[in-house]
Amino acid sequence: MPNCTSFLDVNKQYKEKNALIFPDQNREISFINLYTTVSEVAGGLIGLGIKSGDRVCIYLDNSCEFLIAYFAVWRISAVAVPVNRVLREGEVSYYVNNSGAVAIITDHEGAGLVEKISGMTPGIKHVIEVSGEGKWHGLGAEEPRISPKNCKFDTLCQIQYTSGTTGNPKGAMLTHGNWIASMYAECEALSLVKDDVYLGIYPMAHVGVSWGIASLRAGATWVIMNRFELDHYLKIAEEYRATVIAGMPPVIHTLTNSNELDGSILSHGRIMISGGGPLHPAIWRKFSERYGIPVVNAYGLSETVVLGTGTAIRPEHYQYAKEYMSVGTPIGFSEVKIVDVNDPRKELLCNEAGEIALRGPGVATGYWNMPEETASSFLPDGWFLTGDIGFLHKDGMLSITDRKKDMIVMSGWKIYPTEVEAVLIAHPGIRDVAIFGCDDVHKGEIPCAAVVPRDGADPTAEEIILFAKQKMAGYKVPRKIFFAKDLPRVSGWKLMRKDLKAMYCSIPEDRSHDRNK
């Protein structure tokens, strides 16, 4: 079957039409130039001796180069390992060592971090440094332009790290077939055509990048943003006449709660994407009434390349979605069912809440080097247990009600409490700590910490937050710090996070530390 970058060869027919626009760097890349650059970088990777199956980390901010790196790695049938640029030394080391990466593609600042951890990451043989002007340093000798390697449906092309039940991130093994399924499903969900302009804000290290790749597959233009900032977002949407607009619950919340904005902005938008966390019905309704732009509320996971196997509510569903609560019906060749949380062999009836199970061509083949976790989530008959709780309406539409796991989802970011606790417990003033999520109307949830100080110690909230910032990515840092004498545990060991939520989440702002950043 074709390699998942084969569409680049087809889309070079668009020649000088813009494939990518990156306003922050005043850059435009045509379809023919994207095809040429990807082929040349792929040749340079082969020149380094990188071969099919080798893992290559990509440690960059959102940029044209991040996308080119993806495509070049996939093109030679190597395996991309995206690493979010906000991650720190210990986190990057884990990704590199766990994946067994032989090379890393990064920028100048990232290369400095890679140098610092070189003693901990002996497997890295090549550091390829790219600049914002599209210059690549450290590639091998020039090779002829590389055609996409022939692949099978289940040929591994990416290890996508997600949070895991053991406290360490799990690497979902995604294949060329998974990605092709996602491209086609997302083209279907958004009714993408070559005249569309997609405004993308999702981190390229996240599977949300698939919306942009699907846009390119359709021959549309992708306008890249590195980070969301309201005024810049609106300016770019208007300047480039964006028709398909990436959003997420906090973005949609900001748009609805900004009183100075009216329905005339986003005037070219025909559809808004939401995903990565629950969209509150009141916010969804208010956005719809103010702007008149249908929201494609999507449900998928890293393990399903978002809509490679997933569900979405589309404009034609709105007559059935008066309560603004559903994430729609299966897309493409996806299947969904609800199973008993204690016995996944038992399928539940309509309107019965249970664990959401998905099956289809976008489901990963398992977790990298984690056979037990793979066996518990990926069932022999192809169903994937998502860990999310929901129910099916009689018309087949899915609603999500809760999560089975303790995962905190803030603005689409998944935060695993055990990982954060492992960092904070190293603080010399902390005897015990627990991380839990509190509801937040803007971000969905925010991470909070209950801290038990060591005897004789008196750490401040500001001190703890500074310590956390130095050790982990910013989105994982607790927004609120609560001080406690002890933590609620069963038999002295099993932490009761639900009790912590009940104890602390309703405390007024003036009685807790709140980091409003």
Residue 153 lies in a domain: no
Q: Are residues 388 and 429 in the same domain?
A: no
Segment holding 415, helix H or strand E: strand 413-415
Residue 188 lies in a domain: yes
Give 10-residue mean pLDDT values along the chain (517 residues). Answer: 87 93 95 95 95 97 96 97 92 96 96 93 95 85 80 96 71 97 96 97 93 97 92 94 91 81 84 82 84 92 95 81 80 95 93 94 97 95 93 89 76 81 88 90 92 91 94 93 86 70 78 46
Q: Are residues 397 and 417 in the same domain?
A: no
Q: Are residues 325 and 230 in the same domain?
A: yes
- Assigned token pair, 384: 């994937």
Please state, in angstroms and rounded to a whole number, the distance separating the CA atoms of residues 224 and 101.
27
> Which segments of 25-86 does DSSP mark as H helices, in order?
31-47, 64-75
Q: Are residues 111 and 226 in the same domain?
A: no
Phi (first) and psi of residue 498, to 5 degrees: -60, -35
Please state, in angstroms and rounded to a whole number, the distance separating the CA atoms of residues 186 and 190.
6
- CB neighbours of 175 closer than 8 A, spacing ≥ 6? 153, 154, 155, 156, 157, 364, 365
Q: Are residues 255 and 370 in the same domain?
A: yes
* CATH code for the domain in which residue 126 is found: 3.40.50.980
The reported pLDDT for the residue numbered 335 is 97
Q: Are residues 301 and 246 in the same domain?
A: yes
Instruction: Record the pTM.
Output: 0.84
Segment holding 183, helix H or strand E: helix 176-190
Long-range residue pairs from 465-472, CB within 8 A, at least 24 positions apart, any chain: 465/513, 465/515, 467/424, 467/427, 468/420, 468/423, 468/424, 470/88, 471/88, 471/90, 471/423, 471/426, 472/87, 472/88, 472/91, 472/419, 472/420, 472/423
Q: Which domain holds residue 211?
A: 180-403
Question: How many other C-beta atoms lie within 10 A of the C-beta of residue 408?
Answer: 26
Residue 155 lies in a domain: no
Domain boundary among 359, 377, 403: 403
Q: Are residues 227 and 371 in the same domain?
A: yes
* CATH code for the domain in which residue 456 is found: 3.30.300.30
Q: Are residues 59 and 206 in the same domain?
A: no
Domain boundary among 102, 130, 145: 145
Residue 152 lies in a domain: no
Can you state the angle between helices 176-190 and 210-217, rounded to 10 degrees?
Answer: 80
Report the domain count for the chain. 3
- Where are any strands of DSSP class E within 251-367? 271-274, 295-301, 306-313, 329-330, 335-339, 354-359
The reported pLDDT for the residue numbered 510 is 46
Q: Are residues 391 and 413 in the same domain?
A: no
Residue 218 lies in a domain: yes
Q: Are residues 423 and 370 in the same domain?
A: no
Residue 3 lies in a domain: no
Q: Are residues 384 and 445 in the same domain?
A: no
* CATH code for the domain in which residue 317 is found: 3.40.50.12780
Residue 489 lies in a domain: yes
The reported pLDDT for the residue numbered 402 is 67
Residue 11 lies in a domain: no
Domain boundary among 366, 387, 403: 403
Q: Are residues 284 and 390 in the same domain?
A: yes
